[in-house]
Structure 1
Amino acid sequence: MSKPIIAIVGRPNVGKSTLFNALAGEKISIVKDTPGVTRDRIYADVTWLNYQFTLIDTGGIEPDSGDLLLSHMRGQAEIAMETADVIIFLTDVRQGLVDADYQVADMLRRSGKPIVLAVNKVDNYEKFVLDTYEFYNLGLGTPFPVSANSKIGFGDLLDEVLVHCNPQDADEKEDERPRVAIIGKPNAGKSSLINKLLGEDRLIVSDIAGTTRDAIDTTVKRNGKEYVFIDTAGLRKKARVKEDIERYSVIRTVAAVERCDVAILVIDAEEGITEQDAKIAGIAHERGKGMIIAVNKWDLIEKNDKTIYKFTNQVREVLSYMSYAELVFISAKTGQRLPKIFDVLDMVIENHALRVQTGVLNEILTEAVAMKQPPSDKGKRLKLYYITQVSVKPPTFVVFINDRQLMHFSYTRYLENQIRNTFGFRGTPIHIIARERKER
């Protein structure tokens, strides 16, 4: 089930990033073993009480002049309205209510999305509480006083946010159809691919980056099976600056990946695999989604017997942290090898939801330990007692051991490889969690 997405919107300098960082805590540092995934601090996974959600900071580039300010705010509001389940609208008690706040409030209100109004910089409740009442004038309900700096007032704010998060869970449980997100850089050919799979031009496609108008979920039927394709194709409007485009496409990708089971990363064969591709792939990897890499525009590449081999090695090198990803070489324009996508997709969907019996897992564990001795440190050796699968999507295993300090990353990877050697699990990440159990 996907986690709700919460976006923070507000004028420059009201403290959006401070609030974002305070709520996200220290969880933002990325796993060490994922090279090439640098994380702009745009999104973070947050746990509050027992709830998990994805937080998005729509901030971005601050405009200098007044008229740019509104178009910039409109861009922020649009991206929030389009991707978020709940919007936190952040204002500033020190600056008071300003015209731009009213205009943003109007934009947000029209979205029909739940909006929680937060008034920042209330470091001293007694001193500023009366000033927060002024924000009732925005017509967005109760203003919640917070201080992002001093981390005050978060409880009430997040409780209110979560009130609005739960209804969508009910609808989502019923739809059992596999959900597939098509992700990738602007202009890698995502829309052409969906159009070709649909067999009709449902999305507006042109050769200018960032021209697709809407992100629409599309149902594709093939051999009696239904798939829901989530398109992250373009941007609503042309962002003025490259950083804007990248930032928005990252937010878009996070929103789509959050809702999918399998992601198809479309890469432009002519450009080769880039840093931006690695960044986008990392979003899906972190969230444990099934992964297919579709190398598009393959018809435009001059080939000899080594071309595919060289390209495969290049992709594997840049995306070394997701060696499980399946690779297909296609042309969305000519339709070359597109049927193969569905075969690979079916396999990845199946592997992503695969359950392995505990008995079999423990046989593999015993054998793995016999073949390669667990590491030891200062005379103490790692002992592995028992392994069991606790969930699917992605397949997640808990292994009980005597001392977590001894469970090196390399041994975890070795266990993962042993499990993969037996069951394949092609196209899906698998997670192994180590739990300590004291020796009896």
Structure 2
Amino acid sequence: MARGRVPLVAIVGRANVGKSTLFNRLIKRKAAVVHDKPGVTRDRIYGTARYMGHVFDVVDTGGIGASGELEEQVRKQAQVAVEEADVIVLLTDGIEGLHPIDEELADMVRKSGKPVILAVNKMESPKRDVSEFYRLGLGEPFPISALHGTGVEDLCEEIVSWLPKVEPPEEEAVHIAIVGRPNVGKSSILNAIVGEERAIVHEQPGTTRDAIDTPMTWDGQRVVLIDTAGVRRRSKVKEALEYFCVVRALRAIRRCDVALVVIDSVEGVTDQDKKIAGYAEEEGKGIVLVANKWDLVKAEVERRKREAKGEEVSERELQRTFKLVAKDYERIVREGFWFLPYAPVVLTSAVTGEGIERLIPTALRVQEERRKRVPTGRLNRVIQEAVASHQPPPKGTKRGKIYYATQPRVEPPTFVFFVNDPDLFPQEYLRYLERKVREAFGFEGTPIKFVLRGKKGKVEEVMP
């Protein structure tokens, strides 16, 4: 089994049976969570559940389409879920009773050969009968109320009884995930990296359904490339279901040390690209922004150059133009990923090989930054100088004070500030401190985390 792979449980069912309510109940989420950075809103159709020492990921196959969800769309959701999941929960509606779509979905999941648990929702009243659901041929139905939590514990016990065993991660190797939207060239980049002379690939087939791992050695360093699902096989369902692409990316990100976030240079930075990169930052992973298909941009630049000046354009002049365009394009990428100013940008072409040789060394450099520790004395001098230059803004008659700072953890680097009151440090000021810490110590490509400990025991953990 792959490194630290967390089992996946999919909730499938027709519209309005309570899939999202059960999802929220399993992951113990009270309300929707929205990232505080514009353009990086979290979909939250994916979360982590914990029950009696077991950890498993849950995906809500609802959530696409507005009211009046089409039956065909429900079928596609179920098909993708069947392909991805380790355990499937088929959710039905105890008030409406057995529905023809329930029977169709039951046939589909039964043929998968995977564990399927039948749950009947909205069973708040003990007078309601679940006997008709035996007709689905999926064994004993679990009556639950996702809204009130009745019967959910029994359902969780059944879920964990079917979860596959998870082996501990291989700690020595650096795990690098190649993630991004469909058709940005992830698989081509993987093949180009593997084709590099310094890459010694170890023959080991992928061990999981949801990702293909390629163990290799790069200049003596053990590396595992985690390839997002679907790149080496045709998916049974067209990957038009955008939300599942995000799920696949997030699952790969959670297993990695560094994420290569690949974008299409021709299309530029999209909201989906920001979303995937935002997941990597939230998980505390190293990030390298990879603008692929750079050869297409250069071809267009050359075409326009020749049109403007005729065919008499020297190679030297072209190369000078390419350098200027590359510098300008990197600025555009950074503006698109404005919330990741610390992430390195690499322009690549999987077709010509340009920039490919920089990817693994850059990722390894970022991983070293994730592991970096700074001396406590020097850290406190940097913080004292930062505060002396710019104090926290007052809040009423009070002002934030920092007494002491230390770095107790790495991967990602985490700094604890002992302060008078965490509430006296607004986000803008924490970003200022982050800039000062980065100016002094680097931390290229890695998020850093701040923990504020107040005098009265109040603790606040933030990603500046």
TM-score tier by shorter-chain length is 0.7 to 0.9
1:197 aligns with 2:193: yes
Comparing 172-181 with 286-295, greater Cα deviation is found at 172-181
Contact 2:172–2:222 (8 Å) recurs in 1? no
CA shift for structure 1 position 179: 1.9
For 1:127, the equivalent position in structure 2 comes to 127
For 1:7, the equivalent position in structure 2 comes to 10
Per-residue CA deviation, residues 217-261 of structure 1 (Å, 9 max, x unaligned), is 222332233322222255714539xxx432221222222222222
Unaligned runs of 5+ in 2: 197-208, 302-320, 458-464
1:57 aligns with 2:60: yes
Aligned-residue RMSD, C-alpha: 3.2
Comparing 314-323 with 368-377, greater Cα deviation is found at 368-377
2:431 pairs with one of 407, 413, 423: 413
Per-residue CA deviation, residues 184-225 of structure 1 (Å, 9 max, x unaligned), is 12111111111111229xxxxxxxxxxxx9842222332233
d(CA) in 2 for partners of 1:220, 1:110: 37
Contact 1:118–1:146 (8 Å) recurs in 2? yes
Structure 1 residues 64, 438: closer, same or farther in 2, change over 3 A?
closer
Structure 1 residues 115, 416: closer, same or farther in 2, change over 3 A?
farther
d(CA) in 1 for partners of 2:82, 2:150: 26
d(CA) in 1 for partners of 2:6, 2:389: 40
Q: How does 1:20-419 map to 2 (within 5 A)?
A: 20-23=23-26, 25-26=29-30, 28-32=32-36, 34-44=37-47, 54-59=57-62, 60-61=64-65, 64=70, 68=72, 72-73=74-75, 75-97=76-98, 100-101=101-102, 104-105=105-106, 107-108=108-109, 114-124=115-125, 126-128=126-128, 131-132=129-130, 135=133, 143-162=141-160, 167-168=165-166, 171-199=167-195, 215-232=211-228, 234=231, 236-239=235-238, 244-301=240-297, 302=301, 303-419=321-437
d(CA) in 1 for partners of 2:164, 2:237: 33
Contact 1:35–1:321 (8 Å) recurs in 2? no
Matched residue of 1:380: which SS? coil
Q: Percent identity?
A: 46
Structure 1 residues 353, 167: closer, same or farther in 2, change over 3 A?
farther
Unaligned runs of 5+ in 1: 201-212
Per-residue CA deviation, residues 363-391 of structure 1 (Å, 9 max, x unaligned), is 33333323322332222121112223343
Aligned pair count reads 413
Q: TM-score scaled by structure 1?
A: 0.82
Matched residue of 1:377: which SS? coil
Contact 1:5–1:255 (8 Å) recurs in 2? no
d(CA) in 1 for partners of 2:452, 2:81: 37
Contact 1:83–1:255 (8 Å) recurs in 2? no
d(CA) in 2 for partners of 1:214, 1:149: 31
Structure 1 or 2, whichever has the larger Rg, is: 2
Structure 1 residues 30, 51: closer, same or farther in 2, change over 3 A?
farther
For 2:201, the equivalent position in structure 1 comes to none
